[in-house]
Chain A
Amino acid sequence: MKQYKCIACSKPDLNKNTVGINQKLLGEDIKNFYCMDCLADYLGCTVQELLDKIEEFKEDGCKLFV
């Protein structure tokens, strides 16, 4: 699997759920990804709110998440 690092803080090895929530919120075809902390900061929300979203997407059967 391709390795991704955060475009803002360079945190390495972003996991599939982090990549997935980036794609869900920023667009499916994006090339640059944020880590959970930087994405939450970027959107003005908490990491927990992003995690809640991920759980909802998973419950809906979205294949971007594990």
Chain B
Amino acid sequence: MTDMKRHVYADNAATSRLSDKALEAMLPWLKEEYGNASQPYSFSRKPKKAIVDAKTQIAECIGALPEEIFITSGGTESNNWVIKNTCLDTPLRNGIITSEIEHHAVLNACKFEKEYSGRRITMIPVSTEAIVDAQEFSRMITDTDGLASIMLANNEVGTVEPIRQLCEIAHARGLLFHTDAVQAIGHIPVDVKMFGVDFLSASAHKFNGPKGIGFLYAKRGSILLPYMSGGAQEMGMRAGTENVAAIVGMAAALVENLDELSDVQNYLKKLEDLLLVKLDAAGVNYERNGARVHIPGNISLSFRGYDGEAIMHCLDLMGVSVSTGSACDSRRTQVSHVLKAMHVDNERARGTIRISLGKYNSEEDVETLAEALVKALQVAKV
């Protein structure tokens, strides 16, 4: 029976399949052109140029300048870099203001700064739709805050935050503004100049690029200390031999996703609707979490009286991969900090799963998923 089982991957917010174009773009840099981009001889000329071209492409994709793009290992590193290495020259204004629904890469970096550097951390509450309220944000900023870090889109419920508005407020109060855009880049239009942000974090494997690579946008002139000391790579800001193939793959994946953005957004909306129609037709009672404006394909559903973890494991045994919360939380049993911040009651939170569809999912996938979910709900009662 299991030999015939179709695997349906519906956890694209955790990671996504590498695109064929990205893979093709990467291969030469893993095989024939393996030179160290930092060496002065001619064999390194092509890898060096490939990095320059990739950073130029990435910059164009988000409305930045190439010199404002710093390659990192992914979103976690980018977030840590900004939170730990900015504002250090202004000890009187070293407080950080962030939201209760950030990814742990931001929350735990803030916690680290509080514990080891004594920095003041302010946590902004969110609405029941996971939206950071601009007035509340403005009210809670103090004169000792130097950095605001608010995610562009939430990883668990997909809510898109009013970043431009929040950034304007932060700047008017003299704060730098960082946004964790890991879930948003490659899925919705992102323009750093339009948003006005000083820093932005991204991770390639969330937009069909390779794992272990990402970037940090840092506005020209912004105060940012080096993340790693060593060689002169990344303008001396992040030392270490460049992973040329991954950098090239990241740029190729981002360009591809943005080229087809509108079509994919419409397609994912169609798949979302199909899933909900199927569940409605089967008489399934569910509550959807998050805001109307959300990342396409991100569907957080709560089933009262059910255990989300049991649903997830039942679906897994039926060949369907979904998540119970953020990927980093799925091995723990406590209620998600995001749902808690949204004032979702315990019964609803406990019965919550996250389905995140991507461009490689088909209508057949969604139909299989819906059938499996209906069956899992018949099985996994509390």
The yes or no verdict on A and B being binding partners is yes
Chain A residues at the B interface, C-beta cutoff of 8 Å: 24-30, 42-46, 49-50, 53, 60
What are the residues of chain B within 8 A of A26 when measuring CB–CB?
Answer: 310, 379-381
Determine how close the nearest CB of chain B comes to the CB of A8; give it in whole angstroms.
Answer: 13
* A28-B2 contact in complex given A44-B317, A50-B317, C-beta closer than 8 Å: no
What are the residues of chain B within 8 A of A60 when measuring CB–CB?
Answer: 331
For B3, give the chain A residue with the smallest CB separation.
A46
Q: How many residues of B contact A (CB 8 A)?
A: 17
Quick one: which of A27, A28, A44 contacts B1, CB cutoff 8 A?
A44
A-B contact count (CB 8 A): 46
A30 to B380, CA, bound (A): 10
A28 to B1, CA, bound (A): 27
For A57, give the chain B residue with the smallest CB separation.
B313
Chain B residues at the A interface, C-beta cutoff of 8 Å: 1-2, 5, 307, 309-310, 313-314, 316-318, 331, 375, 379-382
* A43-B310 contact in complex given A25-B379, A28-B382, A29-B382, C-beta closer than 8 Å: no
Q: Write 7 A-B pairs (CB below 8 A) sorted by A numbering.
A: A24-B310, A26-B310, A27-B310, A28-B382, A45-B1, A45-B5, A50-B317
Most buried by A among B314, B317, B331, B379: B317
Q: Add 8 more A-B contacts to A26-B380, A27-B307 (CB < 8 A).
A: A25-B313, A27-B310, A28-B382, A43-B318, A45-B2, A53-B313, A53-B317, A60-B331
Quick one: which of B5, B318, B375, B382 contacts A27, CB cutoff 8 A?
B382
A27 to B382, CA, bound (A): 4
Are B379's CB and A42's CB within 8 A? Answer: yes
What are the residues of chain A within 8 A of B5 when measuring CB–CB?
Answer: 44-45
For A49, give the chain B residue with the smallest CB separation.
B317
* A24-B313 contact in complex given A42-B379, A45-B1, A46-B1, C-beta closer than 8 Å: yes
Quick one: which of B2, B307, B310, B381 contacts A49, CB cutoff 8 A?
B2
What are the residues of chain A within 8 A of B375 when measuring CB–CB?
Answer: 44
What are the residues of chain A within 8 A of B1 when measuring CB–CB?
Answer: 44-46
For B306, give the chain A residue with the smallest CB separation.
A27
What are the residues of chain B within 8 A of A44 when measuring CB–CB?
Answer: 1, 5, 317-318, 375
Determine how close the nearest CB of chain A comes to the CB of B147; give it in whole angstroms.
Answer: 36
For A46, give the chain B residue with the smallest CB separation.
B2
What are the residues of chain B within 8 A of A49 when measuring CB–CB?
Answer: 2, 317
A4 to B373, CA, bound (A): 28
* A43-B382 contact in complex given A25-B310, A27-B310, C-beta closer than 8 Å: no
